[in-house]
Structure 1
């Protein structure tokens, strides 16, 4: 009789241990991007110089599973692009570059987030510009505190020619010489999102 009780007790304890070893399902929480506090800065270079500017985020969200960022998406308002030169700002909105009237929004969708250390991740996703979608990946810092996510990624390199932006590209115009504009531009993104 004692053996049966011991066996029964062991069985119950084992069952409880197995049950407790399963993690509770993690619930996704959606954070809405604060468009007033979030920023995108850009830098583009050309022979003998370059330009910098900003562009605004229209809307977006980030999804957090309680442990880490898992996905997200945000829209970028192409008509809001500015630069350090008024003439360049107008040119960037034209068909030579982003064709802002025909393509008012660009979009970035996060498809995969891989841990890379404390508060560090590698983000992979799809960037759509002028209706053309291309994969892109980059490292980022993501911090979550008191209902707010702050995601920062600097030096994201984007090859504009993949989005049919060929103006003064030495890849397509071999004799462009010192009038060439670099194929790649850089983005610095600072996203602030709230529950």
Structure 2
């Protein structure tokens, strides 16, 4: 049975909305403890707007800012046509300015989820570098990384327990699968990281700025 099994599939067909499927997350469990111990944190949440996440975060006394990159990265407006390039180039500089420019904001927590896996490979490094630049010292980042070329792009909704709810969020294909060493290299400018083993095809990492 797939992730969206019989019961969930029936509900999706009935409502036209993808069902939410719970998934245990050791990274979220640890991060939630920290969120409950502090107040007034700024949280950057990657993915489509989730009223669940907004209500959950604000109920803990924090603020939340949501940004979705996957839909935006697929927009052809970022393709540069030029005789200087054999292949069309991607306008990375303006993409970052429009989607990851936060003024004077610095974030204490970043919920990156599985965004990296669905970004074009040429965007992965620049996006993580920009995220690092807008995080406060000691800030925490939670990322999910597929270990196999399987799965579906999902929106993750926060819960009070040791789980997050996954909800299919589009028909996007995996773009980037990273090994543990590649993930370590990706976050080389951060001060520390901790990996969590999972029973499914997602590797979790909690990174400290």
Shared fold (TM-score, shorter chain, > 0.5): no
Between Structure 1 and Structure 2, the one with more helix by share is 2
TM norm structure 1: 0.25
TM-score normalised by length of structure 2:
0.23
Q: Considering only CA atoms, is the larger Rg found in Structure 1 or Structure 2?
A: 1
